[in-house]
Structure 1
């Protein structure tokens, strides 16, 4: 009986000590004013959700066209910066949402995509994808979920959350137009990224 009680206490200690990171829904925090920049995003917006837990980016009119009446190469890029104060007693990491879109590529056309999500001053996560398949298709880029390797901030510090995404469309086909559209950047809750919290490590 005593052995069973001892085993139970040991298991409880292990579960308590190995606290897993959380998505922060039960933690009080506030975002600063989000800033969305880049010529491609001049008609897009970035706002804070009603519950204050997400930064919502509404992508509008981000299209790329190359070939036919257009140039053989077109580039597009946007940057999102959000000031954030990490709650006292916690560290935070940022992981990317999913960049979605569609393409209509002709022969000899290529779409290149890049998505960077990071805390300013840290390396963060970069996802890249090239699409060369002719015809109509859709794409999804991002959604990083390897939480064992994310970079966490310091405890309770002021940071800037960053998301950069870019695309290029190029073609050798001067007769036919290729087309690509970036339609959304969102996680399952509509946010432009996901925050992961963990308790500060005790020294």
Structure 2
């Protein structure tokens, strides 16, 4: 009997999640009454969900099916910005792969005693990497291999930025050597109109004071 009750509770929870997510999608549509849904799925961990949707456009016709991706934030489903993920997220295996990938990134333990997150990077600034970009999009947090590395910006061009390595340890790179940072091929594939310096400018924050 307990097993039956548990399964029934899980089914009710799943239906509740799907209804909540469908309402979130519908609330953003021009014609919410025309919304159609299919292929609702939740990751094994229960904190990511996807659903395919379609709705009438301004001309009264349906277009192609689209994915909407959601993340559970303290018990509430939130729509994830479409520019930060790919449709591949909308499979259970990919959702679990993302969670596994996130585990190798840790909350930022900064080498700076004071950080200016809002300041645009300029020549002479000391910068520290605080986020990365891969096939799944942006992820905040410093990978273990990048922890404690500081750079001083020497040049900012449309195609790249160059910075002097001033703190930390990188095999084959000495303190004082200058390295150029470009947007990766993957980033340029996802954002073909982006300048070559766009990705690195978004990956670093300005360190006002070093510990």
For normalisation by structure 2, the TM-score amounts to 0.22
More helix as a share of residues: 2
For normalisation by structure 1, the TM-score amounts to 0.23
More strand as a share of residues: 1
